[in-house]
Amino acid sequence: MQVLVLTLVSFFIFSIYQTTVSNLVERGIQTSTSFFDDVAPFKIGFSPFLNFELGKTTYIEVFYIGILNTLLIAILGIFASTVVGFIVGIVRLSPNWLASKCALIYIEIFRNVPLLLQIMFWNFAVFLATLPPPKKSIEFGYIFLNSRGLHTPIPFIEDKSSFNAWVFILLLGVIFCILLSRWAKKNFEQTGIKRPIFIYNLLILSSIGFLSYYLLGGPLEFDVPVLGKFNFKGGGQLPLPLFSLWFALTIYTSAFIAENVRAGISSVSKGQIEAAKSIGLNRSQMINMIIIPQAMRVIIPPTISQFLNLTKNSSLAVAVGYEEIVAVWAGISLNQTGQALIIIAMTIIVYECMSLFTSFILNMYNRKVQITER
């Protein structure tokens, strides 16, 4: 039986391979990786990590730019959707009927409409149509939002040696805080005296940070976006496609995460809460020591899967023109070179790596939880 299936599968793959090779020959396409070092004849507008230069950047560099841009939107999206998702999930369980129902409506609307539709809706119908031109940007302090995207100030290092000194002092502060926490924990175990050590640490760190920052004469400068003739110059820029994609991915994914959070918290049984009350724990102790640890075990695994989904979904950027891997590699580069086989395979490998990485993390987490469970 096994042998039969194996032969059938190998025969199938082999025959596909053969026809593919003959088809490629017929069309005069030579499959090779030699195009990697060719100069890419198109422009990539957004490449914050690698310098793009038209006429100099090669295909393989385009591939790297694509990966980095995918990672950027993934990290931005994971951060924002986790924050929003947890807020909505907790509001869903609010004792306030109105708040809870609003969270329910949010969840049910946004997870039941295709993500692509949402991306296009926000990008084309809302942001492009309603955001003002650069000259009339919406301002939040030094942050500007307009039809070209979001512009923020970014810090840069002015004086290298004083910056290093600042980092060094901060590091010392962190070490001090760690030692202090350890001492406090030990002291707590011995005497039962509890101190608000987190607040102490926060105060110590921030005062050290600010004080040394001014004493060193401000080692960081901020590059503030300035309105030029057509658009803002300087500062950090999130081009509108990235902004819309981020917005839509956040809303879509947060609806799923909110549902995970709700399910996780509801999974903590009533008996657990009654037991916590019956031994005299107050509300915040009960939430911190009984509900959250148990809820997190239910929330974390599906939420990690949502992070992977978000990363895969970021490939929908093609629709609005954000330059991540599918858009610049499986899209433009493929059209330019015709090297479908290699390019698609590389794209798939990138995603498979991410998904393997995710399942690795998930397995690790499950093993850790299992040890403490039975």
Partner 1 sequence: MSKTEAFVKLPDRSPPGSSVGAIAWTRQNLFSSATNTLTTILFLYLFYLYLPSFLDWAIFSANISGSDRSICDANKAGACWTFIKVRFDQLLFGLYFAANPEQIWRPTAALSLFALILVPLVIEKTPHKKWLMLFLLTIYPIIFIVLVYGGFFGIPVSNTTQWGGFLLTFALAFVGIILALPLGILLALGRRSEMPIIRALSVTYIEFWRGTPLITILFMASVMLPLFFPSGVEFDKVVRAMIGITLFQSAYTAEAVRGGLQAIDKGQGEASMALGMGYWRRNIFIILPQALKISIPSIVNTFIALFKDTSLVSIIGLLDLLNMSQTASRSLDWNGYDIEGYLFAGFIFWIFCYGMSSYSQSLEKKLDTERRVE
Partner 2 sequence: MTQTTKAKKVNLDTNPPIIKIDKLNKWFGKFHVLKDIDLQVNKTEKIVICGPSGSGKSTLIRCINRLEVHQEGSIVVDGTELTDDVKQINEIRSDVGMVFQHFNLFPHLTVLENCTLAPIWVRKKSKMEADELAMDLLTKVRIPDQAKKYPGQLSGGQQQRVAIARALCMQPRVMLFDEPTSALDPEMIKEVLETMIELAESGMTMLVVTHEMGFANKVADRVIFMDEGQIVEQNDPKNFFNNPKSDRTKLFLSQILNH
Going residue by residue from 4 to 33, which x/- string records binding to partner 1, judged by CB under 8 A? -xx--x------x--xx--xx-x-------
Q: Which is nearer to partner 1, 109 or 364 (CB)?
A: 109
| Contact partner, 272, from partner 2, partner 1, none, Cβ < 5-8 Å per class | partner 2
| Contact partner, 275, from partner 2, partner 1, none, Cβ < 5-8 Å per class | partner 2
Going residue by residue from 126 to 165, which x/- string records binding to partner 1, judged by CB under 8 A? x--x------------------------------------
CB burial string 31-46: b at 16+ within 10 A, e below: eeeebeeeebeeebeb
Asked whether position 281 contacts partner 2 by CB under 8 A, the answer is yes
| Contact partner, 293, from partner 1, partner 2, none, Cβ < 5-8 Å per class | partner 2
CB burial string 193-211: b at 16+ within 10 A, e below: eeeebeeebeeeeeebeee
Beta bridge partner(s), residue 149: 146, 239
| Contact partner, 55, from partner 2, partner 1, none, Cβ < 5-8 Å per class | none
Asked whether position 193 contacts partner 1 by CB under 8 A, the answer is no
With a CB cutoff of 8 Å and minimum separation 6, the contacts of 219 are 157, 158, 159, 162, 163, 165, 166, 213
Asked whether position 280 contacts partner 2 by CB under 8 A, the answer is yes
Q: Which amino acid is at 73?
A: I
- Helix (H) and strand (E) counts in the chain: 14, 8
Q: What are phi and psi of 152, to 5 degrees?
A: -130, 155
Task: Report residue 158 as tokens.
Answer: 């002015």
Q: Which is nearer to partner 2, 160 or 270 (CB)?
A: 270
C-alpha dihedral over 306, 307, 309, 315, to 10 degrees? 150
Distance CA 225, CA 234 (A): 5
For residues 323-362, which are near partner 1 according to CB under 8 A? Answer: 326, 330-331, 334, 340-341, 344, 347-348, 351-352, 354-356
Kindly list the distances between the CA atom of residue 234 and the CA atoms of 11, 14, 223, 226, in Å, as whole numbers in the listed order. 58, 55, 6, 6
Going residue by residue from 37 to 76, which x/- string records binding to partner 2, judged by CB under 8 A? ----------------------------------------
Contacting range for partner 2; rule: CB under 8 A; set: 1-9, 46-54, 185-193, 239-247: 185-193
Distance CA 95, CA 107 (A): 17
| Dihedral sign from CA coordinates of 102, 149, 46, 72 | negative
User: Given the rule CB under 8 A, which residues bind partner 2?
Assistant: 188-194, 269, 271-272, 274-283, 285, 289-290, 293-294, 297, 372-374
Binding residues for partner 1, rule: CB under 8 A, are 1-2, 5-6, 9, 16, 19-20, 23-24, 26, 94-99, 102, 108-109, 112-118, 120-121, 124-126, 129, 312-313, 315-316, 318-319, 326, 330-331, 334, 340-341, 344, 347-348, 351-352, 354-356
